[in-house]
Amino acid sequence: MTDKTLAVQRMQDYIECHLTGGITLADLASAAQFSPWYAARIFKELTGLAPAEYIRRLRLSKSALRLRDETCKVIDAAFDLGFSSVDGYQRAFRREFGCNPKEYALRPVPLPLFTAYGVKFRELGKKEHRTMDNLKSVFIQIVEKPARKVIVKRGVKAADYFAYCQEVGCDVWGMLTSMKSLCGEPVCLWLPEQHRKPGTSAYVQGVEVPVDDDSPIPEGFDEIDLPAATYLLFQSEPFAEEDYCQAIESLQAAMGKYAPAAIGCQWDDENPRIQLEPIGARGYIELRAVKKA
Confidence of residue 106 (pLDDT cuts 50, 70, 90): very high
CA–CA separation, 71 and 90 (whole Å): 18
Question: Across all residues in the chain, what is the average pLDDT?
Answer: 91
Lowest-confidence segment of 229-233, 244-248, 283-287 by average pLDDT = 244-248
Report yes or no on 52 lying in a domain.
Answer: yes
Domain co-membership, 143 together with 44: no
Higher model confidence: residue 245 or residue 259? 259
Q: Does 74 share its domain with 147?
A: no
CA distance 151 to 223: 4
The rounded distance, in Å, linking the Cα atoms of 77 and 63 is 6
Q: Yes or no: say if 13 and 26 are a contact pair by the CB < 8 Å rule.
A: no
Residue type, 243: D
Residues sharing a CB contact under 8 Å with residue 78, sequence separation 6 or more, in sequence order: 63, 85, 86, 88, 89, 90
62 and 176 inside one domain: no
Looking at the structure of the chain, the number of domains it has is: 2
The answer to whether residue 243 is domain-embedded is: yes
Q: Which is higher by pLDDT, 207 or 165?
A: 207
- pLDDT of 135-156, one tens digit each? 568 999 999 999 999 999 999 9
Range of the structural domain that residue 221 is part of: 138-292
Over the stretch 261-280, which tens digit does the pLDDT of each residue have? 999 999 999 999 999 999 88
How would residue 134 be classed by pLDDT, with cut points 50, 70 and 90?
Answer: low
Q: Rg of the chain's alpha carbons, rounded to an integer?
A: 21
CA distance 284 to 189: 15
Q: Is residue 131 part of a domain?
A: no
Distance CA 35, CA 39 (A): 6
Quick check: 201 pLDDT over 60?
A: yes
Q: How far apart are CA 60 and CA 98, in angstroms?
A: 12
Whether residue 147 is found in the same domain as residue 269: yes
Alpha helices (H) along 126-280: 161-168, 172-177, 244-257
Same domain, 86 and 146: no
What is the per-residue pLDDT for 221?
96
Whether the pLDDT of residue 127 is over 70: the answer is no
pLDDT of residue 136: 63
**Looking at the structure, do residues 88 and 146 belong to the same domain, yes or no?**
no
Asked if residue 185 has pLDDT above 90, the reply is: yes
Based on the fold, state whether residues 145 and 280 are members of the same structural domain: yes
In whole angstroms, what is the distance from residue 60 CA to residue 83 CA? Answer: 9
For the segment 49-72, the average pLDDT, to the nearest whole number, is 94
Q: Is the pLDDT of residue 132 over 80?
A: no
Task: Output the pLDDT for position 126.
Answer: 52
- When pLDDT is cut at 50, 70 and 90, the band that residue 245 belongs to is confident
pTM: 0.81
pLDDT at 75: 95
